[in-house]
Amino acid sequence: MTSLYKTPVSSLNGIGEKRAALFARLGIKSVGDLINFYPRTYEDWSNIKHINELEYGETACIKAIVATSVNDTRISGGRIISKTAVYDDTGSIQLVFFNNKYISSMLRQGGEYFFYGKTSSDSYGMQMLSPTFAPAIKGTQIRPIYRQTAGLPSKSVESAVRQALSMLPSKINDPLPDAVRERFDLCPLRQALFDIHFPKNCQQLETARKRLVTEELVVLNLGMRNLRDHSRGVTSLKITKDYSEEFESLLPFTMTNAQKRAVSDCINDIINKSSPMNRLVQGDVGSGKTAVAASVCYTVAKNGFQTAFMAPTEILARQHYKTFQRLFENTDIKVGLLTGALKESEKKQIRKSLADGSIDMVIGTHALITDKTEFKNLALAVTDEQHRFGVAQRAKLLGKGNNPHLLVMSATPIPRTLGLIIFGDLDISIIDELPPSRKPVKTVLRTSAMRGGVYDFIRSEVKHGRQAYIVCPLVEEGELDDVASAEEYAADLMLREFPDIAVGIVHGQMKPDEKDEVMRKFAENEYSVLVATTVIEVGVDVPNATVIVIENAERFGLSQLHQLRGRVGRGSSQSYCILISDKGSRTTRERLEVMCSTNNGFVIADEDLKMRGPGDFFGHRQHGLPQMSIADFADTKSLELSQKIADYIMNRYGDIRNDEIRLLKAEIDRLFDRGGQNALN
C-alpha cells in the first residue's frame, strides 16, 4: 500500500498529464490517494422497486424494459427532450431526458436496464426525470458517487478507482494489528477498501465504513496523544516555590474546592514534574476559571518568570487586563496589555518591556503571537476560551518561550467525546462546582408579541439596581437588512421603552476604545441596559447583570446560546434568560426548549451537535484538527469506540514507536501532514 502512495495517477491507463491535473484538483496525486478518495455518497441500486409501488417525488431504482424507441423532440433554443416508456411486471412509466442527444443510441428497445432517478408527474401520469441507468446485468448494485470537478465527472473517477483497486496486492499490510481488529470486530483493510467503493449491499458498505471511520479516528486519537507525550521534552524552568496560598489572600472571595484542586494540579505540574505542564482547565461558564489562571500566574511571576495570557476577543482581553491589574494592585507584579487595536507606539512600548522583562505578565489577543513579540523569560502560556483557537495558535504561543508551561481554559461547548480528542494532548482539571450561592439561570421562551411584558420585567429589575443585556444578532450579519440594526434597535428602546433608563450599545463594528468605554460604563452600572451583538458572547463578566434577552433566538446554536446565557447568573441574585423567537416550527421550538430545561453545558453541547451536525456546530470556529477523509465528528459512537481502541493499543504496545505498529505510526504522520500541519508546528 505504501508504494502506491508513490505511484502517480498518471501511471493508470487513460490518465495523461491533463487528466492528472484534474485529479490533482481533487487532492489526488497518487494511486494511493485515489484509493483513499471515498465516495461522497451512493445511489442505492440494490433496492429495486416495482413500478406500481413508486410514489411521487421519491428517488428510487427500478428494473424495467424499454417499450418504445426513444422519441426526441426539439424545443425552443435548440434543446432536445427525449422520451420513452419502460415497463416491468407491475406497470409502466415514462422516462424524460433533457438535452442528451445520445439517449436514443444508448437505450435499446426491448433491452432491460436499471433506472435510478426521481419521479414526478404531469398530466399524463408518473414520470422519471433524467434517470441514470445501466444494463440490468449482475454486478454492483450500489453505485458510488464521487466528488467531481469540471471535466472530471464521477464516472471517470469511478473507473480510475477500479483500476487503482486492481493494483492492490492480494495481501496488504494492515495498519490495525490483527489482535485489535479481532477484538473490536473490524474487517481487514483490503476488504474495506473494495467495499467502500463498490459494495454489493448495504451490509458490506456498513462494515467497510465502520472499519475505515474507526481507523481514521484511532489514528487521530493516537496522534493527539503523541503530541502530548513526545513533543515537549524536559523543562529547564526553575519554578520552585508555591505562592498559591499567598495569592488567595488577594482575592475578594474564597475559592471553591474545585478551583483549589485545579490550582494545585497546576502548581504540582510546574514545580514537581520534569516535563512542562500541558493542562486544560475545563469548567462551565461562570465556574471561576480566571481566578485559577491568576493564581498560577502569580506563582510564576513570584518565581521571577513571565506569563502570556491570550484571549480570543479584544473585549475579553481588556476585561481580563483590568481584573488582573486590580488583583495585583498592591503587589510588585507588573501587568501589560497587548492587543491589535493599540496604537503602534503603545505596542512597541509593551513589546520592549516584555523583551527586557519589566513586565511580568501580558494579556492580549492574537497580537501576542506575531513575530514581533518577544519575551525575556516566558514560563507560562495561558489561552482562555481555547475552543476559539486552533491547535496551531496554541503552539505558536508556546514557541515564544523556551518550552514554557501551558494552561488552556475552556467552558465546554464541545461535546465530551470530541473534547477528549481535541484536548487529548492535555491533562485535564475539571471545575465541577459553581461558586456558592449561585442560582441556576431561569430560562423562558417568548414570542415578540410578549415583548411588552419582557420590557416591564427589565424595568423592575433595573429598579432593584440590577442590569440587563439585550442581544440582537443584527449588526454583524449585514445581509439581514430587513431587520433593524442594533443601533436603531437601541435608539428605539431608549426613546420608547426606557426613556428614563441609561442604555448603552456595543457591537463589532465599533472602535475598540469605544467598545471599551461602553463595557466600562456597563461594568460600573452607569448603563443599566446594554444592547449588544454577539461580541459579548465569550467571557464577559458583569455579576450585577441578572437578565439577558436574546432576540431571534432561533438564529443561534444552542452552545452559543449557552455561552450568551453565561453572561448572567454570575452573582448571588436570581438571574433570567429570555429567548425571543417567533419561529413556530417544531424543531425550532424543541431546540429552544432544551435551553429552558437545562443549565448543563455538556448536555447542551451534545444536543447541539446532534441537532445541527458538526459543520454548523463549529461554524467558523476552529478546532485545529486535521481534515478527515471519512470520519464525522458528530458520530459519537465511533468517537467513543476509537477512544477505547486507542487506549487498548497504548496498553498493549506501550509506545507509538513500537515496531509492531509502525504502519499505524505511518498513518498518523500522513494524517497530520495532510492539512493538519497546524497540529504539529
Interaction site with ligand ADP (CB under 6 A):
253, 255-256, 259, 283, 285-291, 411, 435, 541, 543, 570
Considering the complex, what minimum distance in angstroms separates the CB of residue 565 from ligand ADP? Answer: 12
Partner from Mg ion, ligand ADP, none binding residue 288, C-beta < 5-8 Å depending on class: ligand ADP
Partner from Mg ion, ligand ADP, none binding residue 259, C-beta < 5-8 Å depending on class: ligand ADP
Considering the complex, what minimum distance in angstroms separates the CB of residue 320 from ligand ADP? Answer: 9
Considering the complex, what minimum distance in angstroms separates the CB of residue 247 from ligand ADP? Answer: 13
Partner from ligand ADP, Mg ion, none binding residue 641, C-beta < 5-8 Å depending on class: none
Whole-angstrom distance, CA of residue 680 vs CA of residue 672: 7
Partner from Mg ion, ligand ADP, none binding residue 256, C-beta < 5-8 Å depending on class: ligand ADP
Question: Looking at beta carbons only, is 504 or 539 nearer to Mg ion?
Answer: 539
Burial of 262 from C-beta contacts in 10 A (0-12 / 13-18 / 19+): buried
- Residue ranges in 177-256 assigned as alpha helix (H): 178-184, 189-197, 202-230, 244-248
HEC-encoded secondary structure of 124-170: CEEEEEEEEEEECCCCCCEEEECCCECCECHHHHHHHHHHHHHCCCC
Whole-angstrom distance, CA of residue 458 vs CA of residue 471: 13
> Quick check: 291 and 323 in contact, CB under 8 A?
no
> Quick check: 616 and 609 in contact, CB under 8 A?
no
> Quick check: 154 and 146 in contact, CB under 8 A?
yes
> Across 455-512, where does the E strand assignment appear?
467-471, 503-506
HEC-encoded secondary structure of 187-208: CCHHHHHHHHHCCCCHHHHHHH
In the region spanning residues 347 to 366, those forming contacts with Mg ion, defined by CB under 5 A, are none
Considering the complex, what minimum distance in angstroms separates the CB of residue 566 from Mg ion? Answer: 9
Q: Which residues contact 46 (CB under 8 A, 6 or more apart)?
A: 61, 141, 142, 200, 201, 202
> Quick check: 197 and 39 in contact, CB under 8 A?
yes
Closest listed residue to residue 472, CA positions, set 530, 414, 533: 533
Closest listed residue to residue 291, CA positions, set 117, 475, 90, 433: 433
> Quick check: 186 and 677 in contact, CB under 8 A?
no
Considering the complex, what minimum distance in angstroms separates the CB of residue 478 from Mg ion? Answer: 29
Q: Give the DSSP letter string of 590-653.
A: HHHHHHHH---HHHHHHHHHHHHHHHHHHTT----PPPPSS--TT-HHHHHHHHHHHHHHHHHH
Q: Which residue do the cell numbers 488582573 mark?
A: 324
Question: Looking at beta carbons only, is 176 or 267 nearer to ligand ADP?
Answer: 267
The 8-class DSSP code of residue 496 comes to I
Cell of 508: 463589532
Considering the complex, what minimum distance in angstroms separates the CB of residue 433 from ligand ADP? Answer: 9
Question: Looking at beta carbons only, is 204 or 319 nearer to ligand ADP?
Answer: 319
Q: Which residue is nearest to ligand ADP (CB)?
A: 288
User: What backbone phi and psi angles, to 5 degrees, belong to 134?
Assistant: -155, 150
Considering the complex, what minimum distance in angstroms separates the CB of residue 289 from Mg ion? Answer: 5
Question: Looking at beta carbons only, is 285 or 661 nearer to ligand ADP?
Answer: 285
Question: Looking at beta carbons only, is 259 or 581 nearer to ligand ADP?
Answer: 259
> Across 524-616, where does the E strand assignment appear?
529-532, 545-550, 576-580
Considering the complex, what minimum distance in angstroms separates the CB of residue 568 from Mg ion? Answer: 14
Question: Looking at beta carbons only, is 175 or 288 nearer to ligand ADP?
Answer: 288
Question: Looking at beta carbons only, is 127 or 575 nearer to ligand ADP?
Answer: 575
Considering the complex, what minimum distance in angstroms separates the CB of residue 364 from ligand ADP? Answer: 17
Partner from ligand ADP, Mg ion, none binding residue 435, C-beta < 5-8 Å depending on class: ligand ADP
Question: Looking at beta carbons only, is 61 or 381 nearer to Mg ion?
Answer: 381
Q: How many CB atoms lie within 10 A of CB 401?
A: 23
Question: Looking at beta carbons only, is 34 or 293 nearer to Mg ion?
Answer: 293
Question: Looking at beta carbons only, is 176 or 568 nearer to ligand ADP?
Answer: 568
Q: Which residue is nearest to Mg ion (CB)?
A: 539
Partner from Mg ion, ligand ADP, none binding residue 461, C-beta < 5-8 Å depending on class: none
- Choose the stretch contacting Mg ion; rule: CB under 5 A; options: 212-220, 434-442, 498-506, 536-544: 536-544
Counting residues that bind Mg ion (by CB under 5 A) gives 1
Whole-angstrom distance, CA of residue 388 vs CA of residue 623: 7
Single-letter amino acid, residue 380:
L
Closest listed residue to residue 73, CA positions, set 115, 103, 93: 103
Considering the complex, what minimum distance in angstroms separates the CB of residue 307 from Mg ion? Answer: 16
In the region spanning residues 44 to 103, those forming contacts with Mg ion, defined by CB under 5 A, are none
- Choose the stretch contacting Mg ion; rule: CB under 5 A; options: 76-84, 256-264, 510-518, 533-541: 533-541
Considering the complex, what minimum distance in angstroms separates the CB of residue 288 from ligand ADP? Answer: 3
Q: Give the DSSP letter string of 309-364.
A: EE-SSHHHHHHHHHHHHHHTTTSS--EEEE-TTS-HHHHHHHHHHHHHT--SEEEE
- Choose the stretch contacting Mg ion; rule: CB under 5 A; options: 12-20, 266-274, 475-483, 532-540: 532-540
Considering the complex, what minimum distance in angstroms separates the CB of residue 151 from ligand ADP? Answer: 52
- Choose the stretch contacting Mg ion; rule: CB under 5 A; options: 471-479, 502-510, 537-545, 668-676: 537-545
Partner from ligand ADP, Mg ion, none binding residue 197, C-beta < 5-8 Å depending on class: none
Considering the complex, what minimum distance in angstroms separates the CB of residue 601 from ligand ADP? Answer: 10
Cell of 574: 436570581
Whole-angstrom distance, CA of residue 565 vs CA of residue 402: 39
> Quick check: 310 and 389 in contact, CB under 8 A?
yes
Q: Using the rule CB under 5 A, which residue among 539, 566, 624, 626 binds Mg ion?
A: 539
Question: Looking at beta carbons only, is 259 or 365 nearer to ligand ADP?
Answer: 259
Question: Looking at beta carbons only, is 322 or 644 nearer to ligand ADP?
Answer: 322
> Quick check: 187 and 211 in contact, CB under 8 A?
yes
Considering the complex, what minimum distance in angstroms separates the CB of residue 541 from ligand ADP? Answer: 4
Closest listed residue to residue 97, CA positions, set 123, 128, 124: 128
Question: Looking at beta carbons only, is 223 or 283 nearer to ligand ADP?
Answer: 283
Question: Looking at beta carbons only, is 32 or 283 nearer to ligand ADP?
Answer: 283
Partner from ligand ADP, Mg ion, none binding residue 35, C-beta < 5-8 Å depending on class: none
Enumerate binding residues for Mg ion (CB under 5 A): 539
